[in-house]
Structure 1
Amino acid sequence: MNYLVAAVVAVAAGWLARWLWLGFLQYRRVKHYMDLLPGDKPRPFPVGHYGMLSSKHDEWFRDVYALFQRVRATSPLGVFQFWLGPFPYAVLTKGVAAETVLSSSRHIEKGRDYDFLRPWLASGLLTSSGEKWRSRRKFLTPAFHFHILNDFLEVFYEQSVVLVQQLTARAGAEADAFDIYPFITRCTLDIISETAMGKKINAQTNSESEYVKAVYSVSDIIFDRMIRPTMIWDPIFYTLGRGQQFKRDLKTLHDFTDRVIEERRSGGGDQRRSSAQPTPPAGGGKRGPRMAFLDSLLQARTEDGQLLDNASIREEVDTFMFEGHDTTAAAANFAVYLLGGHPDVQEKARQEVDAVFGRSTRCPTVEDLKSLPYLEKVIKETLRLFPSVPFITRKVNEDFHIGEHLIPAGSSILVYIYAMHRDEDVFPEPHKFDPDRFDTAGEGGGDAFSTAFDYVPFSAGPRNCIGQRFALMEEKTILSTLLRHFTVESLVPLEDFTVQGQLITRPVQGVRVRLHKRIN
């Protein structure tokens, strides 16, 4: 028996030694090629650039941006090395470099950072890769058909009206300034809940909802893990970190989604048009139950003709809730802030809205939204300055080149959208808010950039955001509804306005505004 134990120990030790040796050889190779990239040299393994960055969320984001501002001139292609602790990244800060990755059908596997989302989203559309991702993308695309999105306009408007009702008490000549961010965020949460799940959670009128609290808590904990080296490994996170809170929040989120799926399967969860809508949509007539994304998933079949099981449906519904909530909230909030700080732009947008709606309170139609091109430019410029997702990452599974730089297998790519959108070679006066920079150029139309990958608020290529049309329609509806009722005044100048890049871009101090009721 002792000989057997000794043999097992020897085999295990040999296997471990071989594993460590191969890992060392790969690390040495990756480090060799990463050291050839421009950028500040990292501190010794496993610290990397961690020692140069704050652990506070807002300061961390500013430190990263300052790091690449400092070395920008050393790389015409905008490619830099960055070590997030022991993990190597090639950071891309120009569209010409990002195109190599984003346009490729080979580099589509999301980076290791997305692994922290898996306890919540499992392997849904955002986090999956390979054949599963291709299959899911194929059968989820019809859920975003314009006929389905058109029906969602009622939801967008109904919840925008609730938002106006919530804000009216805060508006007036004598009203105090306040942070509008949580109000708009709860509005978008109500919208995505009803459109994704067909379920009203009434976040705007019940902000103490356990589900609402859990959404915010989980998002904060996930980003905290991403930037704290001590919290990367599960045993440490669940023992010494906020792991137990994370588990409780996930149970709240998953239990809620599971209940809604079961209700919808049994036919007990249908949501008919709310009586809160002040006027019926253009065209009149009553409609049956709205079709939520969940209904599309319940009816969808895989390529082999099988219906999705509950676990597969839950991961996609949870993904819709995650991707379609905070991202649109951030965009709408930043747009309100920028309009409030630029009265001339706000007046031009209001005139356009008035030309379409007059002083009516009717629900917008698709044609109405198409008749708001200047408001769309405001949203586009907002997403340039403050992209909802500040960076995305991809795994590098095989060597490839970006210009003269070899990006080695075993590293990761970080597409730094926030920096790309502030590239002065593409966007003159990049820190200036100027919606007119999105005027189309030439007979073929299209924005006047050197490449389609200079501006990627919804990513680009095969893994672009499937819900970008949904998001733009929602943001146009919210903003046009607010402009029909209020004039907004921002209190913090743009040069003093600070943001932090978590899972999404957020304002550090909120969005402090003063609202004035329109009297004409």
Structure 2
Amino acid sequence: MLLPVVVAVTIAFVLWKYFSREQNELAKLPGPPRLPIVGSAITFLGLSPEETFKRITALPNEYGGRVVLTAFGRYILHTYNVEDIEIVLSHSRNIKKGMAYSFMEPWLGTGLLISTGNKWHRRRKILTPAFHFDILKSFLKVFEEQSKSLVEGLRQLNKGGTDVVDVIPFISDYMLYAICETAMGIKLDSDTSETKIEYKKAILDIGSIVMQRLTTIYLHNDIIFNLHPLGRRFAKCLDKVHSFADNVIMERKKAYGTEQNGGSKRRLALLDLLLEAERKGEIDLEGIREEVNTFMFEGHDTTAIALSFGIMLLADHEEVQERIFEECQSLLSDSDGGISMSDLGEMKYLEAVIKEILRLYPSVPFIGREVVEDFMLDDIRVKKGSEVVVHIYDVQRRPDLYPDPEAFKPERFLESDSRHPYAFVPFSAGPRNCIGQRFAKMEMKCVLSEIVRNFRLAPLTPGARATLKTDIVLRCVDPIHVRFIPR
């Protein structure tokens, strides 16, 4: 009996919303065909994640730099213009994330990624010191150790008779170890424990479920979603990721108390800052859970996927590998004390390589904002209650900004940069830019430099590229297989 009532109430609300809405200026902009009431929601109905990605990235070719989709009285502006992107991302009050993020709230709570207003400002203030230069410097040894361990893992595979690696799950393991040891202050056992496997699988499932929900309009309602098989699967995934994160918190909490009492010198982890804030009454245990879940996901998954796409590209470009190798050899050949921050700073070519990887494959290809205050885009008023989706993936492949945009050319970022400052935003920009971007780039430099110094990479199929699909981060349909040949 409950489901028909919920459906009826939902339909009544949608009809009221549709017929009582004021004229929205976004209605003037082009977009897919809009049917009465449902709008253009039917555009993505029944499409696979791969088909959805193709459809979304085809929109600017069909309709131009501003595309509007509608659904049950909601207006969603998709923008591919750098000038629009600057206005949207630099706005000091329109910092509320779009609807897709609300579907992740049961998982991440209203932590730094999702929160808005005063709560977001308070959390950003608590967490910013965790990414200070001196703290990042103390993490360098962990990055170096994990990079060497990763290389040793590749050597063991070679001894086992194979040089072909399924890159994404392999890299993901080491990124999970690194985020646990740096940001969380605990050392994760480098085995194939069931909890680690379940945690990573649950995150993959959550991303898939969130995107299915986003493109299935009737599942936007919480009650219907929770009753649906997809909602029940989502709940099981939540149990696994929350249990893993809670264990991390409890383990660090015990160690933190011991270290505080013993007065031992220790590396300051992000989780330590949260525990100290809890002691001062600035955050509660639920708040700590929110931030730990957020950083466990963002700190390992986004970097792992960026590195995986980067390894795919390097494998197909031997000349780029050799330039990285030569740069690293010239900086590190006489070094017996390990890599230093100044060494990383001098890796100018590798820096350009990482930027070009993130240009072609930004870990977060689209970001959304819910408009809380009217603003203007030229002569068009974007009204409160509308949503804006910024297409990072597409703007970074625009041929007018990046000639030969599909080609992997790190030298683009060695030349004097005359591009618009919002033409390259893989870490977002403005007040909600990624707090961990320096952390991520340091980690990527350590891993890629260590791999290239020890292996030559080769593709299984020269020129092959991953087929992409929609998810909460950029993912591919099939595995990425690369050969790692010892130097």
Give the TM-score normalised by the residue count of structure 1. Answer: 0.84
Please name the residue that 1:262 is paired with.
250
Q: Could you say which residue in structure 2 is the equivalent of 1:158?
A: 145
Is the aligned partner of 1:215 residue 2:207? no
2:414 equivalent in structure 1: 439
Deviates most, 357-366 or 178-187: 357-366
Where does residue 324 of structure 1 map in the other structure?
Answer: 299
CA distance in 2: counterparts of 1:240 and 1:391, whole angstroms: 27
* 2:269 aligned with 1:292: yes
Gaps of 5+ in 2: 1-8
In proportion to residue count, which structure has more helix?
A: 2
Q: What displacement does 1:495 show? A: 6.3
Q: Which of these residues, 473, 478, 483, is aligned with residue 442 of structure 2?
A: 473
Kindly, what percent of the aligned residue pairs are identical?
40
1:487-506 deviation line (CA, Å, top 9, x unaligned): 10123455643222311111
1:507 corresponds, among 476, 479, 484, to 476
Q: Pick from 51, 62, 85: which aligns with 1:59?
A: 51
For the pair shown, the structure with the greater C-alpha radius of gyration is 1
CA distance in structure 2 between the aligned counterparts of 1:233 and 1:251, rounded to whole angstroms: 21
CA change 1:40–1:255 in 2 (3 A) is: closer
Residue identity matched to 1:228: T
Q: 1:189, 1:203 within 8 Å by CA — same for their partners in 2?
A: no
Contact 1:53 1:60 in 2 (8 A): no
Cα distance change on mapping 1:200 and 1:310 into 2, 3 Å = same
> Are 1:100 and 2:87 counterparts?
yes
Question: Structure 1: which amino acid aligns with 2:92?
Answer: S
Aligned residue for 1:487? 456
Instruction: Work out whether residues 214 and 250 of structure 1, in 8 Å CA contact, stay in contact via their aligned partners in 2.
Output: yes
Deviation string 1:184-220 (CA, Å, 9 cap, x unpaired) is 1111111112222222333664476333333333333
Aligned counterpart, 2:106: 119
> Equivalents in 2 of 1:307, 1:460: separation in Å?
27
Q: Is the 8 A contact 2:278 2:284 kept in 1?
A: no
Q: Secondary structure of 1:59's partner?
A: helix
Question: Structure 2: how far apart are the matches of 1:307 and 1:222?
Answer: 31
**Match for 1:97: what amino acid?**
D
Unaligned 5+ runs, structure 1: 1-14, 73-77, 272-286, 442-446
Please give the root-mean-square deviation of Cα atoms over the aligned residues, in Å: 2.8
Query: Is 2:281 the counterpart of 1:306?
Result: yes
Note the alpha carbon deviations across 1:354-411, whole angstroms, 9 max, x for none: 1122297863211111121101100001101111100000011233221232222221
Aligned match of 2:5: none
Between stretches 288-297 and 171-180, larger displacement belongs to 171-180
Greater mean alpha carbon deviation, residues 234-243 or residues 113-122: 234-243
What is aligned with 1:193? 180
SS in structure 1 at match of 2:67: strand
Match of 1:459 among 428, 443, 448: 428
Deviations 1:392-450 (A, max 9, x none): 00011233221232222221000011111011121111111111111252xxxxx331x
Quickly say closer, same or farther: Cα 1:428–1:84, change in 2 above 3 A.
Answer: farther
SS of residue paired to 1:432: coil
Is 1:448–2:442 an aligned residue pair? no
Instruction: Flag the 1:208–1:136 CA change in 2: closer, same or farther, 3 A.
Output: closer
Q: 2:79 touches 2:390 (CA, 8 Å); kept in 1? A: yes
For the pair 1:390 / 2:365, whether they are aligned, the reply is yes
Q: Secondary structure at the match of 2:157?
A: coil
| Paired positions, count | 474
Contact 1:48 1:84 in 2 (8 A): yes
How far apart are 1:64 and its partner, in Å? 1.1
Q: Does 1:224 align with 2:194?
A: no
Q: Is the 8 A contact 2:369 2:387 kept in 1?
A: yes
Give the SS at the match of 2:23: helix
Cα distance, 1:255–1:486 mapped onto 2, change above 3 Å: same
340-349 vs 357-366, greater mean Cα deviation: 357-366
Counterpart code for 1:136: R
| CA displacement at 1:268 relative to structure 2 | 6.3
- Contact 1:96/1:454 (CA < 8 Å) preserved in 2? no
| Alignment partner, residue 183 of structure 1 | 170
Partner of 1:281: none
- Code of the residue aligned with 2:273 in structure 1: it is S
Q: How does 1:42-57 map to 2 (within 5 A)?
A: 42-46=34-38, 48-52=40-44, 55-57=47-49
Structure 2 partner of 1:237: 225
What CA distance in whole angstroms lies between the structure 1 residues aligned with 2:194 and 2:377?
A: 47
Paired residue for 2:60, among 56, 68, 90? 68
Q: Could you tell me how far 1:507 is from its partner in structure 2?
A: 2.3
Contact 1:488-1:515 within 8 A present in 2 as well: yes
Task: Please tell me the residue identity of whatever aligns with 1:486.
Answer: F
1:186 and 1:131 map into 2 onto residues whose CA distance is 35
